[in-house]
Structure 1
């Protein structure tokens, strides 16, 4: 099985639910649940892959604080190799406070912290040498890594014969294509969400979005389209939508996109084609939203395949 390296963003997610409105100033409101989890695109994907059973390492930055210690302890429990985690006493570990509504949707407060301070120089290049699939997750949140530094890491990975993947997050700085374009020529697979892809490409039509990314060098493109599944565009010209499991009501959508990415990469790590990997990605994404927390609902490879078999009537 291929080995995976996840590079990018990590957070401590403090999840509060249900939150359908904020209390008025000076007042309080009782909630049913408040808990802390490891989050962030790269950490979520690494934890998911570890639970699925794929050999995985991570590379990102945390602060020298209790949140950072929590991140490292938790990821080790998920069988993630944490040798690539850098500890920096000058920054706080990135933190998100996520407010989850009764219908499973989320809004959040975010302190960029350590993820924003992650630099190209923080990455031990031997980690790339030791792994087969290099996944940069949370691009556009990595303020010191985004743009040219990221592209240089991906170029190095390609020169070493690695399979390269990149996923994005929401860009509050509104620099979308400016920061993504340098990396596109070095990507075997680019898989943003639809809303992020619209911002990057400046198009709303799925085919036009994909055409934009292909024109700038990406070999393959996947656009995550939420409850409608995923739109997959392969370099061989095949384009198709894979529907997801619509009968399940989300409990918490935190980490749904990251779990899709992890499921797809797990398929690639097992040597599967894009269509099959996409079906696995949809299953992993569905399992994610059925539990509170970004990685709580993720199951083993065998359990995921069993879920797919039991629910195949929904997607065939």
Structure 2
């Protein structure tokens, strides 16, 4: 029994240590656990909450590495299956002094893309307070999309609160139109939606935070809150009850890697809400965890412990 649940494709990440060298020229790499949903699970666990992760792995060294990393981060693996027929995904990421890094995926036809929907019938939903869903898992295959929709059905049946991060990965979709249409349909099923303002251009035709929030609040009775991530500026919040406000972000001394910041935002929000904090305070925590994330080279190694988070918020009051 866990408080938090998510489904996704975990990846063995090889992050370059050679600054501003292309992946072709880089020769020094460090291996990390990565994947948007598993990043959130890592951060949730690090902040003291129990978490279960749902996926399928290959019976290979990368799969074994991921299992070890999940155990090290105290993430439940009750709903992880393994197969000798397909391989575990991995990726390469370069290191840059400015902007976002380049990423090259090796994930087509992976074990997670062949996730077996029947595994979802084994889930114990008792005690689950939140489920975090991402637009990446349903993008990796039609089989994964089918399983994703079934999980949503089960979550509704058990009255589990849900967050949804579109997490656009155009390279995983056959077209931008299919990506936007599918993700907007899936978003209708979530209580809280967490798009980025840059994603809004593709999903709703605007990068204006209010326009993005109006779209998602207007397309579904189930959606109650939209929190639009606006990068270093922070986040714009709008609720179906009529509240709307901006929560400013935190300044950091140095940005090392922006990958994982959005996942940090999600876990900050979810953990605060699980602890009974107000929505505004939850967004403050979300911004804070995002600030931690951009100061570390791995996708999730920068996420804070409760002590580090409390010290940061005390030193940077809002």
Q: TM-score, normalised by structure 1?
A: 0.89
Please give the alpha-carbon distance, in whole angstroms, between the structure 1 residues aligned to 2:146 and 2:170. Answer: 16
> How has the CA–CA distance of structure 1 residues 256 and 159 changed in structure 2, closer, same or farther, with 3 Å as cutoff?
same
Aligned residue number for residue 280 of structure 1: 285
8 A contact 2:115–2:147 mirrored in 1:
no
Aligned residue number for residue 300 of structure 2: 295
Please give the alpha-carbon distance, in whole angstroms, between the structure 1 residues aligned to 2:26 and 2:41. Answer: 35
Please give the alpha-carbon distance, in whole angstroms, between the structure 2 residues aligned to 1:194 and 1:99. Answer: 25
Aligned residue number for residue 269 of structure 2: 264
Deviation sequence 1:17-73 (CA, Å, 0-9, x none) = 34424377xxx456xx52111100111111111111111111112211111110110
Note the C-alpha offset of 1:159.
Answer: 2.1
Aligned residue number for residue 135 of structure 1: 132
Deviation sequence 1:125-181 (CA, Å, 0-9, x none) = 524345221111334533235656433322321221110111122232222232123
Please give the alpha-carbon distance, in whole angstroms, between the structure 1 residues aligned to 2:80 and 2:147. Answer: 18
Deviation sequence 1:287-315 (CA, Å, 0-9, x none) = 12212212212222232021111122xxx
Structure 1 residue ranges (4+ consecutive) displaced by more than 6 angstroms after TM superposition? none
Q: Does structure 1 residue 3 correspond to structure 2 residue 6?
A: no
Aligned residue number for residue 120 of structure 1: 117
Please give the alpha-carbon distance, in whole angstroms, between the structure 1 residues aligned to 2:113 and 2:230. Answer: 27
Note the C-alpha offset of 1:280.
Answer: 0.6
Please give the alpha-carbon distance, in whole angstroms, between the structure 2 residues aligned to 1:80 and 1:94. Answer: 19
**Aligned pair partner of 2:249 in 244, 247, 266:** 244
**Aligned pair partner of 2:214 in 211, 214, 218:** 211
**Aligned pair partner of 2:78 in 83, 89, 104:** 83
Please give the alpha-carbon distance, in whole angstroms, between the structure 1 residues aligned to 2:96 and 2:78. Answer: 36
SS in 2 for 1:6: strand
Q: Does structure 1 residue 167 correspond to structure 2 residue 165?
A: yes
Aligned residue number for residue 228 of structure 1: 233
Aligned residue number for residue 101 of structure 2: 106
Please give the alpha-carbon distance, in whole angstroms, between the structure 2 residues aligned to 1:140 and 1:198. Answer: 21
Structure 1: state its 5+ residue gaps: none
8 A contact 2:268–2:285 mirrored in 1:
yes
Please give the alpha-carbon distance, in whole angstroms, between the structure 2 residues aligned to 1:23 and 1:298. Answer: 26
SS in 2 for 1:128: coil
RMSD: 2.2
Please give the alpha-carbon distance, in whole angstroms, between the structure 2 residues aligned to 1:40 and 1:246. Answer: 25
> How has the CA–CA distance of structure 1 residues 278 and 10 changed in structure 2, closer, same or farther, with 3 Å as cutoff?
same
Please give the alpha-carbon distance, in whole angstroms, between the structure 1 residues aligned to 2:41 and 2:303. Answer: 12
Please give the alpha-carbon distance, in whole angstroms, between the structure 1 residues aligned to 2:47 and 2:21. Answer: 35
SS in 1 for 2:142: coil
Please give the alpha-carbon distance, in whole angstroms, between the structure 2 residues aligned to 1:238 and 1:199. Answer: 25
Q: TM-score, normalised by structure 2?
A: 0.88
Structure 2: state its 5+ residue gaps: none
> How has the CA–CA distance of structure 1 residues 299 and 39 changed in structure 2, closer, same or farther, with 3 Å as cutoff?
same
> How has the CA–CA distance of structure 1 residues 194 and 132 changed in structure 2, closer, same or farther, with 3 Å as cutoff?
same
SS in 2 for 1:242: strand
> How has the CA–CA distance of structure 1 residues 146 and 248 changed in structure 2, closer, same or farther, with 3 Å as cutoff?
farther
Please give the alpha-carbon distance, in whole angstroms, between the structure 2 residues aligned to 1:124 and 1:50. Answer: 24
Aligned residue number for residue 13 of structure 2: 13
Please give the alpha-carbon distance, in whole angstroms, between the structure 2 residues aligned to 1:101 and 1:160. Answer: 44
- Size of the aligned set, in residue pairs, is 307
> How has the CA–CA distance of structure 1 residues 18 and 140 changed in structure 2, closer, same or farther, with 3 Å as cutoff?
farther
